[in-house]
Structure formats: structure tokens, C-alpha cells
Chains A and B, each alone.
Chain A
Amino acid sequence: MIATAPSISADVSVQASDLTRTYGKAAAPIHALRSVSFTIHRGERVALLGKSGSGKSTLLNLLGGLDRPSSGSVHVGGRDLARLRSRDLARHRLATVGMIFQSFNLIPSRTAAENVALPLVFAGKRRAERRKAAQHALEVVGLGQRTDHRPTELSGGEQQRVAIARALVNCPAVLLADEPTGNLDSATADDIVALLTDHVRTHGTTLVLVTHDEDLARHCTDRVLRLQDGHLLP
């Protein structure tokens, strides 16, 4: 890539500056993130690499608006998440980002379609519209035939596909995946990553993929960010 300075924010998807997250009491603070700064452009696919406990999930949760930074700022889609009110942060989670977790995080009592349609419930969409969108999203991830199955009736890979369909159902600008293949065997993992990267490429979605698989990071993404003890390595 040619080193072009990020001219204007229209091209910038994520921008963190001096992002810090500290847990615990002031007397014995745990520094999960220490003054992290970086920029991710729109449509860029970035891998977040680092050992366990290095602060990857903390960073991802900050980008996803599930958490707030202790200091510094984090802009996603042009808005400083640190300054958003709680309800705007919820709106950010609903509309701007889609999150995928290692443990799928599906609601066991609801069918695949219902799980996928859940964000649309909070978006205030009608039932019929939700159904259609969920069906479409499930077809995209290759589960068009399994809409009425509950998570317990699906394999791990299928569950993660449902989770991906849920993350995609609102057509987010940024996709955040926290070790999405951590609970899957390598063959399934490859399928999942392929699904993610394909979708991202065709839709111009920004992807932040947390992993500790060096090869995967290098092959499937444009750039690798490395974290160590809360520091971003150069």
C-alpha cells in the first residue's frame, strides 16, 4: 500500500487516539489498554493479533460501544463513542457495527430466524420485514433451510453462521469479530473466515478480526495490528 496520509475523515472508518482502558480500583489498576492510537480506513480488513490477555477483546468492545474508554477517544463512523449518551451508544451498536463472538451468543430459546431478527426488533421494524431480512441474511450465510431451528439443534459452525447473519442483518459499516473461530475446528473455521472476508469485500465493510492465528491474520486481512500488554506494537 502506498503511504497516503488519511486526508479527511470521510475515508476513515475507525480512529483511536490515546485510547486507554483501566479496570479495577485506582489503588491497584489493571491496564487493559494503554494509550492506543490507530486509524482504520473504510473497507479495510484489519487483524488484531496478540496473546491472551493482551487487550484485544477490550479494544473490540470499545469499538463496538459495549464499553467506554477510561481516557482518550475512539471515533467510529465519525462519532466519538466516548462522548455518546447511553441511548446513542445503543444506536451505534444497533446500526453502525455488527459483533461476532467466540461463544456465538445466541438466545437458546429462540429459533435461528428469531435470533437473526433480534436487532430489528430493537430497530422497531415490523414483523414481516424482520422475517424477510432474517431469511435473506440466513441465506447469505448458507442457512436458508434452517431458519426455524434452535441453536441447540445446530452445529458450532452453523451457530456461528447464525451469529454472523445477525451481525449482518442491519448492514453495518463495521464488522467486529472476536475470535469467531476460536470454538471451531480448522475446516469449519476456514469456511467462516472465508464467509466473513467475502462478504466484507463485496460490501465494502470494514472488518476488525481478533485472532491469535498468525497465518490467518496475514492471508485474510490487509493489515495486522499487534497488541502486547495493552500496548499497540509498531
Chain B
Amino acid sequence: MRLVDVVGLGLSALLRQKVRTLLTTLGVLFGSFVLVASLSVRQGVHETIAREYQKYGELRKIEVRPTYGGTKEIPPEKLEVRGTMSEERRQRLRQEIQRRWKQGIRVDPAKTLTRERMKEIAALDHVKSVEPVLLQHGRVTLGKKSMDALSLAAPPDSAEFRNRLMAGSFLPSADSQSVVVTEYLLYQLGIVDDADVERAPGKTLELEYRLGRPAPSLLLTLMHGGNAQVSPEEEKVLEKVLQRLPDAFAKLDLGAEERATVEKLFKPRTPTAPEGITIREPFAIAGVLRCGDGGGTEQRWGWVAGDVDVLVPSGTATEMYFRSPRHREHGFDTVIVEVDDLTHVKAVNQQILAMGLQTVSLVDLIEREQFSYLLIFSSMTVVAVVALMVAALGITNTMLMSVLERIREIGIMKAVGAREGHIQTMFLVEGALIGVVGGLLGLLMGWVASFPADAWVRSMIEQQISIKLEESIFVFPPWLVFGTPLFSVVVTTLAAFYPARRAARVNPIAALRHD
């Protein structure tokens, strides 16, 4: 028997029962449509998420933090819960005491981001750079004017700042004694005219940091809220006041008991605490930055960029930061590790975790995000597969009926020489044809429907989180285009298997008995 004839016989049998064929095919069509849609959007969202993150180059970065706590044990007497109570309640209270204790105590970092550890991280395979996130309040002086400013350590190849350069050049090297300032800072410092801004590069800016100890201006903040703008002269006075504050208590109108309390409170707690140090150094202005246009805020540290007044080369900033013995001991709060390639991020992350440090990486995050979408759309896929199964049951049912109706025809075919295999193949082909047509139409429908659906989702995303997606959230990779119709064919052919067996086994004598 030739293939064309097998298909031809199956097709003509299907066409003889048009309504029935239409309905069973519709079932398959619907099932494979939902299957195509769910798989397509699943893949599309997966790729879109990866692409959106990838765009900001943030995927290759790992944020590393020190590990805190866990070293100091709670004294056993504190864990003792007295009183008559059930053992369960005692246990609960004990656990709560322990939990609060762990929260409350200020423990020094167990694993710190010291210079040595940063070198260790930098030595790992595939690590491109290790840069601290070093945001510091300091004081800048230009000529006679001075003001508080926020400085940020920046590598000389920092792209996000480079393209805001309006005069001069960017930081020449990581260790140079130079800075880049914003036009806003210059304006505040009295450099107003365009021509003056143009001439600003090359001028000397004095930077002052107070390390390891809060500024005395904090006293003012305490007394009348608000941020205090204090000149260096004023600050010297404040310092003096602070030092002599305890002496002033004697002159206050206080009772003996009150005086004792005050003296106790103001007694220096840790006489061994390292003295804070003050750094004051001149820097050459290398360039001037345009004020931020708010762009770049979708980046992880983007919000920082908006408030920064001064960029200090990362190497120089690190060196200054570590002049404080306390900083040398405790290291940085946050360090950004850049990995050379996306595929190595997880491995590097693992190695850093193995050092006992904490990490946050967007790869984790997007994997989690992708996982949640995977769950959602996979459940849709499950529904689709179930729908296909139901359609398949419909096919089995209809074809069993059809076998009974066509039993005489089957008997005739066998009588004139059809083999069991011929009859079986004919019925299997009928099932397969329904699967081919339903599967292909479902694919087509899914593809057609993806355009309005994509447009709708895009407009929603644009309105709600103002992200303009570049590509469709529906994708049709080859495995989907070929796979889903194939799957639907396999399902419907399997559905036809039992009826086909029944048809093949028809006893021709019984089928041809004419009563």
C-alpha cells in the first residue's frame, strides 16, 4: 500500500464526517494554541529579563559585603527563663531571647573587606576588577570658598560618568591626585560663567575628610535638626566646645544626683578607641561633569550618581580611607566585583561565598525572577497539555465510534486483501492528520495572536514601569515551531492507537454478515 493512498483514505474518511472532524480538530487546535502561547511567552519573558538586565552590564557584577555577627555567645544565665510555665512556652521565650540577643548586639564583622581580602578576590580567576563603593561626606575648598560635599570613589574607566564630561578630561588614573567635579559644585563654589567653568580644570581643590569619628557639627544637628553647613573656622570652635562640655556641667544648676548621672553619661566609654583622623589634601581638578539628567538611575548604584559632587580616583580614595586604623581593620562596607564573562559569574560568586563573605548578584536575582515566571507559564503549559489530552480522549472516543460505523467497510477491505497493518495505519493516519492540522493551526493562531498580545503587554509595561522593550515577549524558536505540532501529532496518533487496533482486529466474517 502506498503512502499517498494511506493518507488519501484517511483524509477521505475524515472529510466524510466533516462536523465531527471539525470538532475534534478544534479541540486539538485549542490545546496546541495554549501550548504554543505558553511556551512562547515563557521563552520570551525569559529572554527579555536576561536582555533587560544585560543592557546595563550589571549582570557581570557581584556586590560583596562583610559578614557580621555570630561570634559572641549569649551568656547562659541570660537564657534562663524562670517562673511556672509550660515547657513549650519556656522554650519559646528562650528562643526569642536568643533571637533578640543576636539582633541587638553589635558584633564586629567576622569576615571583613580589608585590603588583603580585596586582593584575594582580585586574584580569583575571571575577576576583572574589584572596586569599593566608597561614598564619603567631606568638605571641599576652592580658593576662599568651602562647602560640604559628597565624594565617590570612581575607577578611571567608569563609563556612566565619562559621558557626562563637559570640560577638561576624566580621571587620568586610579592613583592620581586629581578629581572630577560637577558643574553644580563649581557653581556653589562661585565658578559661575561658562568661561570660568572652561578654565576650572587644572585648578586646585582641597578635600577634607574626617575619618573614624563623627564631625563636631553633628552637635548642631542634634540641637536643632537639619543639616548644618559649617565652615572650618566654625568647626574649630565647635571642637573646642565639645572638649570643654564636661567642665560646663559643673556650672549648671544641677542636684548632686543629677550631676552624678551626667558625669556618668559623659564619661568616655572606650578610652582605648582609636583617635579619629582628619585628612586634608589638595587635588587637581581634571574635569567637570554636567549635572545628571536622571538617566542611569535604573542602575544598581545609579541613585548614588545623582547626588555625588566629587569623583575621586578609586585607588587614591582607597588609600586615603585606609589611613584610618579603624578602617584598615574593618575594611569596606561594600565592594563591587566585576567578572569578565556572564558565564563565570556563578562560579566567582561561589568562590567569594566560600571566603565567608556575603554577596548579592543580579544573576541570582534574575534567576529567581525567571524561575517565578517559569512556574507561572509552566502551569499554563500543564493546562495546555491537559487540554491536549482531553482533546486526545475526544479523538479516541470519536474514532471508536467511527470504527463501529465503518465496520462493514473494514470487513470489505480485509476481504479483498487488506492486511491488519493497512487498516491500523489508515486509522493512525486519521489521528495524525487531525494532529497535524490542529497543531499547525494552533501554531499559526498562537503566532497571529502574539502580535496584539505583545502590543498590549508592552503598553502595560511602558505605562506601569516605563520600560520600553525592544523585542517581543513572544518568541518562536525553531524547537517551538517544529516541536509543538510534532507533539500534537504524537498525542493524536497515540489517541488513535486503540481505535486503530480495534479496527485492525475486526473479524471480516462478522463484519460482512448481512443481517
Residues of A within 8 Å of B409, CB to CB, are: 107
Chain B interface, >50% SS class: helix
Asked if A118 and B514 sit within 8 Å, CB to CB, the answer is no
Answer yes or no: A87 CB below 8 A from chain B CBs: yes
Q: Tell me which residues across on chain B come within 8 A of A56, comparing CB atoms.
A: none
Interface contact A118-B2, CB-CB below 8 Å = no
Residue of B nearest to A102 (CB): B514
Which residues in B have their C-beta under 8 angstroms from that of A90? 414, 417-420, 422
With contact pairs A109-B16, A121-B5 given, residues A101 and B512 touching in the complex (Cβ less than 8 Å): yes
Stretch at the interface among A10-18, A92-100, A134-142, A211-219: A92-100
Within 8 A of A (CB), among B462-515: 508-509, 512, 514
**In-complex Cβ contact of A66 among B2, B509, B514 (8 A):** B509
Q: Which of A59-87 contact B (CB under 8 A)?
A: 61, 64, 66-67, 86-87
Q: How far is the CA of A66 from the CA of B420 in the complex (A)?
A: 12
For chain A, the count of residues having a C-beta within 8 Å of the partner chain is: 29
Q: Which of B415, B421, B514 contacts A64 (CB 8 A)?
A: B415
Query: Which residues on the A side are within 8 Å of B413 (C-beta)?
Result: 118, 122
- Most A CB contacts (10 A, CB to CB) among B413, B414, B416 go to B416
- A93/B420 contact (C-beta < 8 A), A66-B509, A101-B512 known: no
| List of A residues within 8 angstroms of B19 by Cβ | none
Q: Which residues of chain B come closer than 8 Å to A31, judged between CB atoms? A: none
Question: What number of residue pairs across chains A and B have CB atoms under 8 A from each other?
Answer: 68
Q: Are A99 and B420 in contact (CB under 8 A)?
A: no
List the B side residues contacting A93 at CB < 8 Å: 414-417
Residue of B nearest to A182 (CB): B514
Contact with A along B403-425 (1 / 0, CB 8 A): 00000110111111111111000
In the complex, A121→B514 CA distance in Å? Answer: 25
Interface: A166 (CB within 8 A): yes
The answer to whether A87 touches B2, judged by C-beta atoms less than 8 angstroms apart, is no
Q: Which residue of B lies closest to A103 (CB)?
A: B514
* B159 in contact (CB, < 8 A): no
CA of A122 to CA of B422, assembled, Å? 8
Across the interface, A91 reaches (CB within 8 A) one of B9, B16, B417, namely: B417
- Please state if B419 and A123 are interface contacts (CB–CB under 8 Å): no
Query: How many whole Å from A21's CB to the nearest CB in chain B?
Result: 11
A126 contacts B by Cβ under 8 Å: yes
B509 pairs with A118, CB closer than 8 A: no
The complex places the Cα of A159 from the Cα of B420 at a distance, in Å, of 27
Task: Say whether A124 faces chain B, with CB atoms less than 8 Å apart.
Answer: yes
Residues of A within 8 A of B422 (CB): 90, 122
| A61 nearest in chain B by CB position | B509
B172 to chain A, nearest CB (A): 85
The answer to whether A95 and B417 have CB atoms under 8 Å apart is yes
Residues of A within 8 Å of B508, CB to CB, are 66
Closest to B419 in A: A90
Contact of B412 with A107 in the complex, beta carbons under 8 Å: yes
List the B side residues contacting A61 at CB < 8 Å: 509
- Which residues of B from 409 to 449 have beta carbons under 8 Å from A? 409, 411-422
Does A105 interact with chain B (Cβ within 8 Å)?
yes
| B222 close to chain A: CB less than 8 A | no
Q: A118-B412, A121-B1, A124-B2 are in contact. Are A86 and B514 (CB under 8 A)?
A: no
The minimal Cβ–Cβ distance linking A180 to chain B, given in whole angstroms, is: 13
CB-CB under 8 A from B417, the residues of chain A are 90-91, 93-95, 119, 122-123, 170
New A-B contacts (8) at CB < 8 Å, excluding given A105-B412, A122-B1, A123-B417: A87-B420, A90-B418, A91-B417, A105-B512, A107-B412, A118-B416, A121-B5, A124-B1
Sample 17 A-B pairs with CB under 8 A, ordered by A number. A66-B415, A87-B420, A87-B421, A90-B417, A91-B419, A93-B417, A94-B416, A94-B417, A105-B411, A106-B412, A118-B412, A118-B416, A121-B2, A122-B1, A122-B416, A123-B417, A166-B416
Residues of A within 8 A of B (CB): 61, 64, 66-67, 86-87, 90-91, 93-95, 99, 101-103, 105-107, 109, 118-119, 121-124, 126-127, 166, 170
4 residue pairs, one from A and one from B, having the closest CB atoms: A94-B417, A103-B514, A90-B419, A119-B416
